[in-house]
Amino acid sequence: MNPSDIVWHPATVDRSARESNLGQRGVVVWFTGLSGCGKSTVANELDSQLLQLGRATTLLDGDNIRHGLCAPPPALREEHGEAFAERFGLGFASIDREENIRRIGNVAALMASAGLITLTAFVSPYRKDRDRVRKIVEEAGKTGDFIEVFVDTPLDICEARDPKGLYKKARSGEIKNFTGISDPYEAPRNPEIRLDGGKATTPADQAAEVLQKLVEWKVFATS
């Protein structure tokens, strides 16, 4: 197949019309960090705070997306067969994570193009993968549309929390390629926002810190 046979069709209703209808800019707020660092909790809290302010949002959470769009091979086998499951199912090898983030990065960019404040919560451990999403989102919109939020909670705190018992399994070798234990986490060098999970702050305060930046950066105005 020749890629040039697939031709972009310009939309009749453009992004700026959608954004002005909603009274906000479409952006991607990309939470990244170790398992258990607080990504989902803070992103959900931010989602609630934004809803209270009447903002149009959506939230894409790694755990949930891996139940559908990025399901693992065993979840696809019965419905689609072995070959399909092996080809399209995703685990946690670096190439699988790359495809996970590529798929979800494109989905997030589409949602931001629809004018939504798009919150995402993925471990997304590789800098290159996150930087690719930044590029996709900014090419679909403009510089400033991708807001990387590093939830910087030390590994020992994440491991002590271990809400799903995954660190315990990773330590015993039952789970392979576990981020922070047997797989790398490449911390962002210049995130737009860094939340210090090493100090005693509530998820509500952390979410409020992000919210304040969104207002400061004129994603929307508060009345």
Ligand X SMILES: Nc1ncnc2c1ncn2[C@@H]1O[C@H](COP(=O)(O)OP(=O)(O)O)[C@@H](O)[C@H]1O
Ligand Y SMILES: Nc1ncnc2c1ncn2[C@@H]1O[C@H](COP(=O)(O)OS(=O)(=O)O)[C@@H](OP(=O)(O)O)[C@H]1O
Of 104 and 121, the one with the shorter C-beta distance to ligand X is 121
With 0-12 CB in 10 A as exposed, 13-18 as middle and 19+ as buried, what is 162?
Answer: middle
Residue 105 within binding range of ligand Y, rule CB under 6 A? no
CB of residue 156 vs ligand X: minimum separation in angstroms? 13
Residue 36 within binding range of ligand Y, rule CB under 6 A? yes
CB atoms within 10 A of CB 175: 17
Residue 134 within binding range of ligand Y, rule CB under 6 A? no
How long is the chain?
223
Contacts of 150 (CB under 8 A, 6+ apart): 32, 33, 187, 188, 191, 193, 194, 195
Distances (CA, A) of 41 to 19, 59, 61, 149: 27, 11, 10, 13
Of 63 and 131, the one with the shorter C-beta distance to ligand X is 63
Any binding-site annotation on 4? Answer: no
Task: Please give the Cα distance from 5 to 12 (Å, whole number).
Answer: 21
Which does residue 25 touch among ligand X, ligand Y, none (CB within 5 to 8 A, set by kind)?
none
DSSP 3-state assignment of 184?
coil
Any binding-site annotation on 20? Answer: no
Binding mask 165-184 for ligand Y (x = CB under 6 A): -x--------x-xxx-----
Tell me which residues in 40-99 interact with ligand Y (CB under 6 A): 40, 62-63, 66, 92, 97
Bridge partners (DSSP) listed for residue 119: 29, 59
CB of residue 205 vs ligand X: minimum separation in angstroms? 8
Check if the beta carbon of residue 193 is closer than 8 Å to that of residue 213.
yes
Any binding-site annotation on 38? Answer: yes
| Chain residues in the site for ligand X (CB under 6 A) | 33, 35-41, 121, 161, 163, 201-203, 206
CB of residue 161 vs ligand Y: minimum separation in angstroms? 10
Active-site residue, 182 included: no
CB atoms within 10 A of CB 199: 7
Q: Which of 27, 28, 35, 153 binds ligand Y (CB under 6 A)?
A: 35
Residue 37: which of 149, 132, 169 has the closest Cα? 149
Catalytic residue among 94, 124, 182, 223: 124
Task: Please give the Cα distance from 137 to 36 (Å, whole number).
Answer: 26
CB of residue 201 vs ligand X: minimum separation in angstroms? 5
Tell me the catalytic residues.
Answer: 124
Contact footprint for ligand Y (CB under 6 A): 35-36, 39-40, 62-63, 66, 92, 97, 100-101, 122-125, 164, 166, 175, 177-179
Binding site for ATP: what residues are annotated? Answer: 33-40
